[in-house]
Amino acid sequence: MRSRKNIPTQFRLDSDGSAEPNEIARFVDGQTIEGSGLTFIDGAIKEEVEFGDVRVRSAYFPLNDISSSSGVLTVNLDLGTVFRFTHNEDITLSFLNIPVDKVVFITIVRVQDNSSTSHDIDWDSSSGDFAFPASEKPILTAISGANDVLTLRTYNGGSNFVVNFVGNFA
């Protein structure tokens, strides 16, 4: 059975499949707005779409829990663009299924494991070329249970990333 989701948008889906602006929409998972290519799955937009005069005011995206294996954290964009992992070993980042011709925003919530042992991200060995504000790699929080948020942008399929960092949310 498909579940209904209230998606905070600035348009309403009419019974004929057309979208009317300026109202909150209620969608069934898997439902597509006619002519837009916009499909909702688990409350997230899963298809690229150009809206023209219709604006999405806000959207919620599922948080995907992932984990590292043998020192590699694989971020698969087929799952979404928002991820959380518990950092319990030194890692490199690996990215899968990044669209080549789109600007992609990726959010990674890093949770320090239940120790105060510092774990690192090896940016130099990770897939892609990473740029940081003031060329400074982030200093990850080594407090048990602390959260750091990494926001990455790529415009060329993951060859280059711009990384922003906010840390130490306990």
pTM for this entry: 0.69
> Does 92 have pLDDT greater than 50?
yes
Lowest mean pLDDT among 3-7, 16-20, 76-80: 3-7
50, part of any domain? no
Q: Are residues 37 and 77 in the same domain?
A: no
The answer to whether 81 touches 98, Cβ cutoff 8 Å, is: no
54, part of any domain? no
For residues 96 and 51, what is the distance between their CA atoms, to the nearest angstrom?
Answer: 27
- pLDDT at 118 (0 to 100): 87
- pLDDT at 60 (0 to 100): 72
For residues 86 and 68, what is the distance between their CA atoms, to the nearest angstrom?
Answer: 8
Q: How far apart are the first and last CA of the chain?
A: 38
Q: Are residues 18 and 80 in the same domain?
A: no
The tally of domains found in the chain comes to 2
Tokens of 27: 């969608």
57, part of any domain? no
Q: pLDDT, tens digit, for every residue of 33-60?
A: 554 445 554 555 444 444 555 555 556 7
Q: What is the mean pLDDT of residues 69-93?
A: 95
Q: Are residues 31 and 68 in the same domain?
A: no
Q: How confident is the model at residue 4 (pLDDT cuts 50, 70, 90)?
A: very low
126, part of any domain? yes
51, part of any domain? no
Partners of 73 in beta bridges: 93
Q: Are residues 111 and 153 in the same domain?
A: yes
- pLDDT at 102 (0 to 100): 87
Q: Are residues 41 and 77 in the same domain?
A: no
The more confident residue out of 5 and 85 is: 85
135, part of any domain? yes
For residues 81 and 124, what is the distance between their CA atoms, to the nearest angstrom?
Answer: 22
Residues 6+ apart with CB under 8 A from 150: 107, 108, 109, 110, 138, 163, 164, 165
Q: Are residues 40 and 79 in the same domain?
A: no
Q: Are residues 94 and 162 in the same domain?
A: yes
Partners of 20 in beta bridges: 12
Provide the residue range defining the domain that includes 71.
Answer: 64-169
Q: How confident is the model at residue 17 (pLDDT cuts 50, 70, 90)?
A: low
> Does 25 have pLDDT greater than 50?
no
Residue recorded with tokens 């990850």: 140
Residues 6+ apart with CB under 8 A from 26: 4, 5, 6, 7, 13
- pLDDT at 77 (0 to 100): 94
> Does 109 have pLDDT greater than 80?
yes
Around 134, how many Cα atoms within 13 Å sit in the side-chain half-sphere?
A: 3
For residues 89 and 131, what is the distance between their CA atoms, to the nearest angstrom?
Answer: 23
Tokens of 46: 């899963």
Q: Are residues 8 and 72 in the same domain?
A: no
Q: Are residues 26 and 80 in the same domain?
A: no
Q: Are residues 69 and 41 in the same domain?
A: no
- Single out the residue of 166, 164, 156, 167 nearest to residue 134, CA to CA: 164
Q: Are residues 38 and 91 in the same domain?
A: no
Q: Are residues 154 and 73 in the same domain?
A: yes
59, part of any domain? no
The answer to whether 98 touches 77, Cβ cutoff 8 Å, is: yes
